[in-house]
Amino acid sequence: MATATIYPAPETQDKYVPVEVYLTSMYHPDCDYVDGKLLERNVGELPHGKLQSFFGWYFRNHNDEWQIEVSTEQRVQVSETRYRIPDVSIISRDAPEELILLTPPVLCIEILSREDRMSEMQDRVEDYIAMGVRAVWVVDPWRRKAFSVTTDGLLHPEPVTLQVPGSEIRVPVAEIFRELDRKKN
C-alpha cells in the first residue's frame, strides 16, 4: 500500500493537479478537488468547530433510531472530476462502506466560516444536489441562521427545524445555536 504525502494547503488555485495525485496525497487542512484544481476550505474557527462537534454528537446519539452513520470532513466524489469535503456527512446505514464516498450521503452539512462566500457555497451545494444528496443544510454561526437547500439548489431560511424530507431526521435550530452559548466550566 502506498503511503500518502502530506502537503500544506495550496497557496494558489491555478496549478493543475492530476486526480491521482489528489487521491494519494493528504493536505492540511484537506482541500476540495474541482476539475483539476485544489480549493482550500475555510476551517479552524471556534464557532465552526463547536457546531461541527455538536452535529457529530447529535447524529451519533440518533444513529440507531435513524439508521445512519455520521462522518466529519469525509471526501465525497460528487462527479468524475470533483471531490468535496462537507463539514458533516450523514450516511445511510445500508450504504456501502466506502473510503471515499461514491454513494450520495443522505445529508451534507456545511458550516460557514467568516471567510466563506455564499457564491462559493452555492457551487458546493449544487455539486451535492447534482450527485443526488437528499438534503443539504448550510449553517451560519456568525449570523445565527440555518438554511435548507431544495433540489433546485436554492437556500431557504429555516427558523425552527432543519429536516431531511421523507425521513425522521430533524434538528431544532435553537438547539444548534444554543451550543454556541455554552461556556466552559
Query: Which comes out higher in pLDDT, residue 89 or 2?
Result: 89
pLDDT computed for residue 12 by the predictor: 46
**Pairing mode, if any, of strands 88-92 and 107-111?**
antiparallel
- pLDDT tens digits, one per residue of 174-183: 999 998 887 6
The domains located in the chain, with CATH, are 1-40 (no CATH), 43-181 (3.90.1570.10)
The H-or-E segment that residue 73 falls in is none
Site of grid cell 482541500? 31
- pLDDT tens digits, one per residue of 19-67: 999 999 988 888 999 999 999 887 778 999 999 999 999 999 999 999 9
pLDDT computed for residue 1 by the predictor: 43
Query: Which comes out higher in pLDDT, residue 15 or 185?
Result: 15
- pLDDT tens digits, one per residue of 111-137: 999 888 888 889 999 999 999 999 999
Tell me, rounded to whole angstroms, the distance of Cα 171 from its chain centroid: 16
Distance CA 107, CA 170 (A): 11
